[in-house]
Amino acid sequence: MTGKANRKFLSLEERETIERFLSEGLSVSAIAHIMKRPPSTIGFEVKKNSKDGVYTAAVAHVLTRARISKRAESASFPPSAVKLLEQGINSGWSIRKIADISGIAQFSVKKYIDLKKENQEKEMRNSLEMRIAALEQQIKILFEIIKEKHVKGS
């Protein structure tokens, strides 16, 4: 297992490794040591991305991508501009009217609306991916139960 300490984000492969080690009962610090990552990175990953006390790599990956997308959208515009843009969008104003009232260029208003639409689509995709990951996890558990019953029944 080679560490990737120079990378800012964990890869899906690293998240799968964390999931496997957690299921084997390893501690966060042991996992961090093996993966050559700071214990705080692994601890934060597990804490931030566990759902109902269960860490699933696929779900964690989707949640992280969604958080990154949200930050990218809001980072493009200052909060005061976002407030004006949202007010205009929610009022059903045209791009031109929003631009005139807010003093923001029409191009920037359109860019914000496009980013917002893109992020809504990403959130829908991420939500579906999370549901699929949860179903895959449930199927995995059911197969284990069936396998156990089959072995006991033999």
Distinct helix (H) and strand (E) counts, the chain = 7, 0
Please say whether the beta carbons of 127 and 51 come within 8 A.
no
Rounded to two decimals, the pTM is 0.49
pLDDT, residue 70, reads 64
Q: Are 90 and 147 found together in one domain?
A: yes
Number of domains in the chain: 2
The pLDDT tens digits of the residues spanning 17-58 come to: 999 999 999 999 999 999 999 999 999 999 998 888 889 888
Mean pLDDT for the chain?
85
Q: Which two tokens stand for residue 98?
A: 């929003």
b/e string for 57-91 if b means 16 or more Cβ within 10 A? bbbbbbbbbbeeeeeebeeebeeebeebbeebeee
pLDDT, residue 72, reads 56
Q: How far apart are CA 63 and CA 56, in angstroms?
A: 11
In-domain check, residue 48: yes
Q: How far apart are CA 104 and CA 127, in angstroms?
A: 32
pLDDT, residue 108, reads 84
* CATH number assigned to the domain comprising residue 8: 1.10.10
Nearest to 51 by CA among 121, 146, 143, 138: 138
In-domain check, residue 140: yes
Q: Are 49 and 101 found together in one domain?
A: no
Weakly modelled stretches of the chain, pLDDT under 70: 1-7, 69-76, 154
Domain that holds residue 150: 78-154
pLDDT, residue 105, reads 83
Please say whether the beta carbons of 12 and 57 come within 8 A.
yes
Q: Are 47 and 82 found together in one domain?
A: no
